[in-house]
Amino acid sequence: MFRPVCFLLMMAFGASLANAGEPVVLFDGKDMAKWYTFLREYGTDKDPNGTFTIQDGILRISGQDWGGLATRDEYSNYKVEVEYAWGGKVWPGRDKNARDCGLIMHATGKDGAVGKSWLEGIQCNMIEGGTADLSVTGANQKYSFKAETEERPWGKKTGTYWKEGAPTRDFPPGTRLLWFARDPNWDNVIGFRGKDDVEKGIKEWNTLIVTMKGDTMQTQLNGVTMTKATALTVTKGKLQFQSEGSEVLFRKIILTPLD
């Protein structure tokens, strides 16, 4: 009996290894089964204006109503790959500002806790000129991170830019880590383009990869490493895309477990 039992155990162990890292298709071009919606004015899974729709394999967040699209499950230790493009539509209240969305990682707590619209979490910002900036969404002190940075001019203020090998500083709620080459003359105006921007223009497809491993976080945009963070104080949660006045299109969202 010894040899067959060992063989079966080895087969079972091998099968578990084979399944490790198997991608989770969060959006398959057909439905939003792995997600739920929350809108400031309507609550959970009520979307009378079609803020979240799918057509011809493309997921559209119109931006009309403020809120978010969140995963039903929580995740830790993973890489998520997102292919997105800015649409042309903007809505009153943000029709003159840079197009804005956002991907909240390790999101937890009550729906609508932040601005009556979003979950708390660590945000990979998605905004014209500033995609891959990192910040805490909300004011909950349980969230913070560290990053290697240098200070440089940013408009009329001093910005804190990611720079590998530089001294490390803390990022509590209310602070923002800027991606390494963010334009120092950035202005919050629609269609802003910085001279060194990695993100592509309107209706052009971008690939955003965010890796959450243990208490670390790394962002890549179109193959370029944009920011890195360490010492994340929350290491598990949902993912949430924000709807906040700007049309965003998605054709791929795949999460790959790292353990």
Strand pairing category for 216-221 and 224-229: antiparallel
Residue 237: predicted pLDDT: 98
Q: Which runs of consecutive H residues, i.e. helices, occur in the chain? A: 2-19
How far apart, in whole angstroms, are the C-alpha atoms of residue 213 and residue 236? Answer: 10
How far apart, in whole angstroms, are the C-alpha atoms of residue 151 and residue 163? Answer: 9
Yes or no: say if 182 and 133 are a contact pair by the CB < 8 Å rule.
Answer: yes
Residue 21: predicted pLDDT: 81
How far apart, in whole angstroms, are the C-alpha atoms of residue 106 and residue 134? Answer: 13
- Break the chain down into helix, strand, coil percent, rounded to 5: 5, 45, 45
Q: Collect all residues with Cβ–Cβ distance below 8 Å to 83 and sequence separation of at least 6.
A: 205, 206, 207, 208, 250, 251, 252, 253
pLDDT in tens, 132-144: 999 999 999 999 9
Q: What are phi and psi of 10, to 5 degrees?
A: -65, -40
pLDDT in tens, 71-115: 999 999 999 999 999 999 999 999 999 999 999 999 999 999 999
Yes or no: say if 105 and 241 are a contact pair by the CB < 8 Å rule.
Answer: no
Residue 20: predicted pLDDT: 54
- CATH number for the domain formed by residue range(s) 25-257: 2.60.120.560
Pick from 239, 254, 256, 258: nearest CA to 106:
239
Show the low-confidence residues of the chain (pLDDT under 50): 1-19
Burial class (CB in 10 A: 0-12, 13-18, 19+), 254: middle
Distance, CA of 200 to chain centre:
17
Asked whether the CA dihedral 85, 91, 93, 95 is positive or negative, the reply is positive
Pick from 248, 240, 247, 199: nearest CA to 219:
199
Pick from 216, 234, 235: nearest CA to 225:
216
Domain range annotation of the chain: 25-257
How far apart, in whole angstroms, are the C-alpha atoms of residue 64 and residue 48? Answer: 11
The reported pTM is 0.91
